[in-house]
Amino acid sequence: MVKHVLVIRLSALGDAAIAAPVLRRWAMANADVRFTMAAPPMLAPLFDEMPANVDFLGVDKRQPARSLCRIFLSTGADAVANLHHVNRVDRALRLMRLEALVRHTPLTVSTLRKGKLSRWLMLHHLDMRPRRPQHQRYGDVFLRLGLTPPPPDNHTVAPLHNASRRIGFAPFAQHQGKIWPMDLGEKLVAMLSERGYQVVLFGSRGEAPTLEQWAARHEGVTSAAGRYSFAEEMEVIGHLQLMVSMDSANMHFASALGVPVVSIWGATHPDFGFYGYGQPRELAVSSGRRCQPCSAYGNRRCRYGDYRCLRDISPDAVLEKIETIFEK
């Protein structure tokens, strides 16, 4: 039986954020096992409120495989849950296994089975069976280590308890196929402002000028972009009643903190396995065009050149979803 599990997820902030609630559940179900979570240093706040048997190790993914191997060996783990499964990490783990053989120490490694969508089948809507969610595939990695499974997951995001009507809005994403047109995004902000909602805008330092302009033009709207550390930003998100987000890391940050998310989908699709942890499926908004989805990650060019799948989502449709949630 394993005694100390090294859990690895070094990049893709959204995927690393998904690991937080998964690790919490497995650590609680295996209180006699120690867990060390290796993830980007900036994500430490997501792993603050973990069970006592969980430690956090900030690791820079850009290091060569040999350096990663030394860092991984320094934990003294006798098992590895590889939630990353990329070449550099895989090379580091091969070196780690060789070192374990030399030292005659046991080392068990379980690796994420990613699976791939067939692009041809996806484009022709023949491979649209829902994939297993990412958090379930992470659970499979722990299960193959022989750990005790946690009880059935009945997690749901927190209900809206008070009337402060404080909403976050993260209108950007890594790829164009995931970004709602800016004019529609600002129109939603204006409509929320007119109805008395308090809106906090989220984005990177480079996106801050756009969001600051929106905040200046609309009452009750503030921008958090570029103003706070990651830890402070997570604290702000944790006090929201609702987040509106693209298919982006912010959806996963809010989900990990138990905040409901109305998510907007264009080139990608919630059934590809990357939907927010614990989010009700009815909170996803899409246009339902026949050409949608066309990409697993949103990084393919629109065949029409105008991303009409996103343009067809009206601010009224998103606002209706938001107000329905507050009414409930």
- Which of the residue ranges 48-57, 142-151, 156-165 would you say has the lowest mean pLDDT? 156-165
On whether the CB atoms of residues 232 and 202 are closer than 8 A, the answer is no
Q: Is the pLDDT of residue 160 over 70?
A: no
Number of residues that make up the chain: 328
Q: What is the pLDDT of residues 268-279, one digit of tens each?
A: 999 888 999 999
Q: What is the pLDDT of residues 26-68, one digit of tens each?
A: 999 999 999 999 999 999 999 988 999 999 999 998 999 999 9
Q: Which pLDDT does position 156 carry in this prediction?
A: 54
Report percent pLDDT > 90 for the chain. 77
Number of Cα atoms under 13 Å in the Cβ half of residue 179? 16
Q: Is the pLDDT of residue 162 over 90?
A: no
Indicate the SS3 state at residue 244.
Answer: strand
Q: Which pLDDT does position 104 carry in this prediction?
A: 87
Q: CB-based contacts of 183: which residues, under 8 Å, 6+ apart?
A: none
On whether the CB atoms of residues 135 and 277 are closer than 8 A, the answer is yes
Q: Is the pLDDT of residue 1 over 90?
A: no
Order of strands, edge to edge, in the sheet holding 79-82? 54-58, 34-39, 4-8, 79-82, 108-111
* Type of residue at 228: Y
Distance CA 133, CA 17 (A): 14
Q: Which pLDDT does position 245 carry in this prediction?
A: 98
Q: What is the crossing angle of helices 249-256 and 230-238, to 10°? A: 60
Q: What is the crossing angle of helices 249-256 and 13-29, to 10°? A: 20
Q: Which residue has the tokens 């060019």?
A: 301
Q: Is the pLDDT of residue 263 over 80?
A: yes
Q: What is the pLDDT of residues 74-96, one digit of tens each?
A: 999 999 999 998 999 999 999 99
Q: What is the pLDDT of residues 4-22, one digit of tens each?
A: 999 999 988 888 899 999 9
Q: Which residue has the tokens 């790829």?
A: 175
On whether the CB atoms of residues 272 and 291 are closer than 8 A, the answer is no
pTM (two decimals): 0.83
Q: What is the pLDDT of residues 106-144, one digit of tens each?
A: 899 999 987 665 554 455 554 456 678 899 999 999 999
Q: What is the pLDDT of residues 185-229, one digit of tens each?
A: 999 999 999 999 999 999 999 999 999 999 999 999 999 999 999
Q: Which pLDDT does position 132 carry in this prediction?
A: 82
